[in-house]
Structure 1
Amino acid sequence: MEAHSMDVHVPTRMLVEALVRTDLTVDAGDLYATANLLDMNDQQVRLCVKRLVAEGRFVQEGRGRKAILRATGSAERALGLDVEFVTHAFRQDAGLAPWDGAWHLVGFAVPESARPARDALRAALTFLGGAAVHGGLYLSANPWEPYVEEHARRLDILDHVTFLTTRDLRRGEETDPATLTRAMWPLDEIAERYDRLAAVAEPRLALIEGPAGLSGAQRLTIAVELAAEFTRAMEADPLLPPELLPRSWPGARARALTARCWSLLEEQSGQDDSGIRLFRLYGDVSRHDTSTTTSAEIHRGLSAPCPPGVPG
């Protein structure tokens, strides 16, 4: 397989989790072969497996390359994408999730005696794409109340949390939603992550579509690299409505390129890799449509001279 134009750092732990099959096992032979293609040495893999087993996330049966790793219940719950949020991103790309003009605010005043819960809630709000307006006040353009409430209930601090929705948001004299968005979220940093995702996906798409054909290990390697880079881009993305983003926003095109790769990888998967959860999971997400979404709509960013007018 030809060298890729951009290298991707894949954590060894992510590699192990990416190779989990539908029966929740990992074939150590596949693991070591794919790791070698990603320039990981055997010692890195052995140490990672040892840590995962010590953490109770996997049980090892056998030794070396003939071993089988079996995911435990805790590992199973942690595996894979947050499908709901990724599906929402593709709906935005297809123009199926327009903004209703409402801002969603969450305020909290958690006492110092519950400081760990307060810190955990703040981290959850950031993970959910919230922007800090002032101390204890966070903003989202999406209806995130059910998710915030779930976290607050779990942390037993719901009584200290206030929810507010408004269409009248102003900072100083600024009222323009797009300008407020640029001021509150690090759009340049998020865009850079999507530019990198596109730069990773494009040469790999050329390999997948090329005449030479790919082995099972090569397909797995590309799938894992794409998953790693896609995760890095999506984790930082608050999934702001298209109406609030710059017209040149690269998210939709990067996701479309990646979706095309996953779709072809799933089509080409053979007997040796058809049972890998990664192919099924990402394949399902990339083509996940609602009753009105078509594959062409999801992938339309590929042929556009610039990102679609309704970017993600």
Structure 2
Amino acid sequence: MTDRIEIPTRMLVHALVREDGTVDADELYTVANTLGMSDQQVRLCVKRLVAEGRFTHEGRGRKAQLHATADTMRALSPNADFLRHAFEQDAGRAPWDGVWHLAAFAVPESERTARDSLRETLVHLGGAPLQGGLYVCANAWEPYVEEAAHRLGAHGGLTLLTTTDLRRGEIREPAELARRLWPLPEIADRYHRLGRLARPRLDRLTGPAGLSPSALLTIAVELAAELTRAMEPDPLLPPELLPRPWPGTQARELVARCWTALRERDGGETRPALFRLYADITRARAEEPAEAG
């Protein structure tokens, strides 16, 4: 018996959005039931999403269809760049150039909402705070930072710079700086969990037993949810700055193999946009060996 993955109902609805923006209600209820969710739980979630203007609703019961609004589709589109970059790092094709990327901002108290949003964005993009209003990242994040600052109306208060000579107190060795600046043990624990959950699902996918379309879709939803939980707080530090072996590399390899097996079992049926994206990105990784420890 595999461990159950807790998936919020809203995340399930989002995960099942197809490339044309629709969600099939029968598929939604079937997968929800498999995951231990009640029909009432799903109905309430759908009602909230429609009330918030994130979806429109057509039809009744299991014959209904949800339609994601344009804003919802934009918000749900995962940033494929980060997942691709992670696999490039895992394969040893993205060596670190030794450059630290810094962003500083000065946003007045009167624009506190924009300031807080920019701070959250910098952390989401892999930044770590050095001191008030100053964040550092090991990857070239400038296009993403500038896009967020423009969107929040804070670009005029943004300063960007790079350096190869970063020190904090007496610490200047890059790997030690990374260990002090980012919560690497917590991030590693999330990947250990992802690996533990992916392995039995890979066994099911590669075993002789048949799996129904709803079972395949359930596994895909579970993997997508757990991969998201692991990767969202991950700054995707270059391998040169991480402990070896790094569990993120091993966990993502397992997920890539799961997606390859899902694609083979699926028989080419149309699946939610999120899974098609993951399958495309992970295909190359699944076909090559992982980097040694």
TM range, smaller chain: over 0.9
What does residue 241 of structure 1 align with? 238
Q: Report deviation, 1:295.
A: 4.7
Q: How far, CA to CA, are the matches of 1:147 and 1:99 in structure 2?
A: 19
Of residues 32, 35, 40, the one that matches 1:35 is 32
What does residue 277 of structure 2 align with? 281
What does residue 219 of structure 1 align with? 216
Question: 1:265·1:279 contact (CA, 8 Å) conserved in 2?
Answer: no
What does residue 63 of structure 1 align with? 60
Q: Report deviation, 1:21.
A: 2.3
Q: Report deviation, 1:22.
A: 2.9
After the TM superposition, which of the residue ranges 278-287 and 197-206 deviates more from structure 2?
278-287
Q: How far, CA to CA, are the matches of 1:111 and 1:257 in structure 2?
A: 46
Question: 2:130·2:136 contact (CA, 8 Å) conserved in 1?
Answer: yes
Equivalences, count: 293
- Measured on the aligned residues, the alpha-carbon RMSD in Å equals 1.5
> Secondary structure of the equivalent of 2:287?
helix
Q: Deviation per CA, 1:197-238, whole angstroms, max 9, x where unpaired? A: 001100000000010111000000000000000000010100
Alpha carbons of structure 1 residues 246 and 48: separation in structure 2 relative to 1, 3 Å: same
Of residues 268, 280, 296, the one that matches 2:287 is 296
Q: How far, CA to CA, are the matches of 2:5 and 2:223 in structure 1?
A: 8
Instruction: Map 1:100-249 onto structure 2 (within 5 A).
Output: 100-249=97-246
> Which residue identity lines up with residue 285 of structure 1 in the other structure?
I
> Secondary structure of the equivalent of 1:60?
strand
Normalising by structure 1, we get a TM-score of 0.90
Question: 1:80·1:281 contact (CA, 8 Å) conserved in 2?
Answer: no
> Which residue identity lines up with residue 12 of structure 1 in the other structure?
T
Alpha carbons of structure 1 residues 257 and 178: separation in structure 2 relative to 1, 3 Å: same
> Which residue identity lines up with residue 222 of structure 1 in the other structure?
I
Q: How far, CA to CA, are the matches of 1:275 and 1:231 in structure 2?
A: 18
Q: Report deviation, 1:61.
A: 1.2
Q: Report deviation, 1:270.
A: 4.1
Q: Deviation per CA, 1:74-113, whole angstroms, max 9, x where unpaired? A: 2211224210111000110111110000111111222222
> Secondary structure of the equivalent of 1:56?
coil
Q: Report deviation, 1:296.
A: 3.0
1:90 aligns with 2:87: yes
Q: How far, CA to CA, are the matches of 2:239 and 2:137 in structure 1?
A: 14
| Structure 2 alignment gaps of length 5 or more | none
Q: How far, CA to CA, are the matches of 2:69 and 2:111 in structure 1?
A: 32
Q: How far, CA to CA, are the matches of 1:114 and 1:80 in structure 2?
A: 28
1:9 aligns with 2:6: yes
Q: Report deviation, 1:7.
A: 1.4
1:308 aligns with 2:261: no
Q: How far, CA to CA, are the matches of 2:31 and 2:203 in structure 1?
A: 20
Normalising by structure 2, we get a TM-score of 0.96
Alpha carbons of structure 1 residues 130 and 31: separation in structure 2 relative to 1, 3 Å: same
Question: 1:190·1:236 contact (CA, 8 Å) conserved in 2?
Answer: yes
Q: Deviation per CA, 1:104-142, whole angstroms, max 9, x where unpaired? A: 111122222222221111111111110000111111111
| Structure 1 alignment gaps of length 5 or more | 302-306
Q: How far, CA to CA, are the matches of 1:154 and 1:71 in structure 2?
A: 22
What does residue 265 of structure 1 align with? 262
> Secondary structure of the equivalent of 1:92?
helix
Question: 1:223·1:278 contact (CA, 8 Å) conserved in 2?
Answer: no
> Which residue identity lines up with residue 296 of structure 1 in the other structure?
E
Q: How far, CA to CA, are the matches of 1:157 and 1:45 in structure 2?
A: 38
Question: 2:260·2:286 contact (CA, 8 Å) conserved in 1?
Answer: no
After the TM superposition, which of the residue ranges 78-87 and 32-41 deviates more from structure 2?
78-87
